Structure 1
């Protein structure tokens, strides 16, 4: 077994390199287990939607049903984010070998063959399929529909400067599925939440993409970071404002209490801090701000929970 190289943007001291068996580490890297932020970003829209779908009717059964469904979505986010990253690495292996941040990924680094990566992808998809079968029929249909978005995503950077927009469509699909998992329907609040999440992802992933602008320009990979350039922070601010407006709309449609909107004030301050503190010319700054969206997700989630209560 080839020595496993720690990826450049992995969490410092990740358990993948400290505790996991050495033979597992290349596959855990493929699934981005050493970089959990993406799993959280995929999971948050679903958890927000699950919490919002109770519509202030937090009876005993609804509470425990939400806990179970949330657990299923957590497991699904882990395996399907891993599957999506594995697929992305297979498709992008030639590009990844030319980019400083990604050349240490398992396939370009020679830690995993393409054939074994495909096998690992199938295994992850089977687990995800098993989770999907435990959800409502509408959620199952939505889950299958999401595969189209996932399959197309790695190719978008070849044809458009806005692959981050496609990622926004893909990563926030859980907002629709979470609602459907509990109600077997797609409510207007879930649609507003999905649209808002689109702008959230467009913002944070544009900042993230600024880590690779020099390499991307050299090898011909497109991104919103390259398209926006020095105007990035202004546009990201607009994306975040649109996101907040749609979060407010989702709350109104779900009939939550004013506690939710108080929480959104804190969320707005956090997004404002992101825009003011990020240095788009510094990769470490972009990565640091990007990772803070885990905490931002907690702010919104707690705000939704608080909005279920009235005084």
Structure 2
């Protein structure tokens, strides 16, 4: 879902080299160390592009921290760490399964899109049947981790997986497939909360329910924002192929929409703090810093330059994830029992 550039500076136009006509095996990075026959499957998982894994993982992290704050006796830090290690591993499998499934469904279009034509299934390195089998294996491994979690987690994990399966088809029927993606990814928050012991739909406190809904809305909005930027990489190809996205629907007006979505996300993050009576340890990093990161991204990203879209997509995932989690984490650490275990 992102490029593997690790530079801390946005690339200039001179760095935006055109993709070669023929596929070239990886010569550097993680994939260059793998056996040749394994590389296509690693590409299906996007192992060389870690930012996408965090789009799956961060909502789970937020959910565990939210639930830890809601419990009258916050759970020990070791429990939170253990649960999040499970979610990190699960995110690798589930994101890999989602990307593989997406590549199966999109292969006919990927062959006609400059950025995607060398994907493993599109170029014929993996057959659709083998890709489907690989999707099932990854999904089984990811959902298999639910056995390490309370049964309640499955109530939210399965609709997450279902929406993720629907997502590749959404771009054929709606200009807002990012909404489907956002609702799917945000369900990770509910899985995380359920793992700690809070059922998001059975909380007896109306304020807590509104807070959970606000945090969920923030996750949805964040996914829509970053994926709208991501979709601008393929704007011209998508328009020629008749594929739909926020980029094709809004085009030159996408930035005003992004400002509106960013403002909405900041407001719902602030609502979480107000509803749960959180202090400046939450508001400073989670609300103010997230607002700064989103504002800087929208101001600086060049939506007509694919490399700029990819750079800001990747870095905004990391930065907004850290700012949103840090306020919840700081508040939890201030309330948790002393010690690690």
* Cα distance, 1:232 vs structure 2: 0.7
Which structure 1 segments of 5+ residues have no match? Answer: 1-6
- 1:1-311 alignment runs, 5 A limit: 9-11=3-5, 15-55=29-69, 61-186=75-200, 188=209, 189-263=211-285, 264-292=287-315, 293-308=317-332, 309=334
What's the TM-score, normalizing by structure 1? Answer: 0.92
Judging changes above 3 Å, is the alpha-carbon distance between structure 1 residues 61 and 179 closer, same or farther for their aligned structure 2 residues? closer
Structure 1 equivalent of residue 16 of structure 2 = none
Q: Which moved more, 1:55-64 or 1:88-97?
A: 55-64
Q: Which moved more, 1:136-145 or 1:82-91?
A: 136-145
Judging changes above 3 Å, is the alpha-carbon distance between structure 1 residues 14 and 70 closer, same or farther for their aligned structure 2 residues? farther
Judging changes above 3 Å, is the alpha-carbon distance between structure 1 residues 192 and 285 closer, same or farther for their aligned structure 2 residues? same
Following the alignment from structure 1 to structure 2, what is the Cα–Cα distance between the partners of residues 226 and 276? 20
Following the alignment from structure 1 to structure 2, what is the Cα–Cα distance between the partners of residues 57 and 132? 22
Contact 1:139/1:184, CA 8 A, preserved across alignment: no
Following the alignment from structure 1 to structure 2, what is the Cα–Cα distance between the partners of residues 83 and 273? 32
Contact 1:96/1:105, CA 8 A, preserved across alignment: yes
Following the alignment from structure 1 to structure 2, what is the Cα–Cα distance between the partners of residues 214 and 65? 48
Judging changes above 3 Å, is the alpha-carbon distance between structure 1 residues 148 and 17 closer, same or farther for their aligned structure 2 residues? closer
Q: Does the residue aligned with 2:148 lie in a helix, a strand or coil?
A: coil
Following the alignment from structure 1 to structure 2, what is the Cα–Cα distance between the partners of residues 175 and 155? 24
Following the alignment from structure 2 to structure 1, what is the Cα–Cα distance between the partners of residues 299 and 260? 13
Following the alignment from structure 1 to structure 2, what is the Cα–Cα distance between the partners of residues 59 and 8? 40
CA deviations on 1:85-108 (whole Å, 9 max, x unpaired) are 111111111011110011111001
Q: Does the residue aligned with 2:312 lie in a helix, a strand or coil?
A: helix
* Cα distance, 1:287 vs structure 2: 0.8
Contact 1:8/1:104, CA 8 A, preserved across alignment: no
Contact 1:280/1:286, CA 8 A, preserved across alignment: yes
* Cα distance, 1:307 vs structure 2: 2.4
Contact 2:68/2:75, CA 8 A, preserved across alignment: no
Following the alignment from structure 1 to structure 2, what is the Cα–Cα distance between the partners of residues 180 and 37? 25
Following the alignment from structure 1 to structure 2, what is the Cα–Cα distance between the partners of residues 22 and 158? 34
Which structure 2 segments of 5+ residues have no match? Answer: 7-26, 204-208, 336-341
Q: Which moved more, 1:180-189 or 1:71-80?
A: 180-189
Contact 1:175/1:194, CA 8 A, preserved across alignment: yes
Judging changes above 3 Å, is the alpha-carbon distance between structure 1 residues 185 and 173 closer, same or farther for their aligned structure 2 residues? same
Following the alignment from structure 1 to structure 2, what is the Cα–Cα distance between the partners of residues 82 and 237? 31
Following the alignment from structure 1 to structure 2, what is the Cα–Cα distance between the partners of residues 60 and 307? 11
Following the alignment from structure 1 to structure 2, what is the Cα–Cα distance between the partners of residues 39 and 8? 10
Contact 2:44/2:120, CA 8 A, preserved across alignment: yes
Q: Which moved more, 1:16-25 or 1:214-223?
A: 16-25
Q: Does the residue aligned with 1:105 lie in a helix, a strand or coil?
A: coil
CA deviations on 1:215-274 (whole Å, 9 max, x unpaired) are 001111111111111111111111111111111222333443321101121221111100
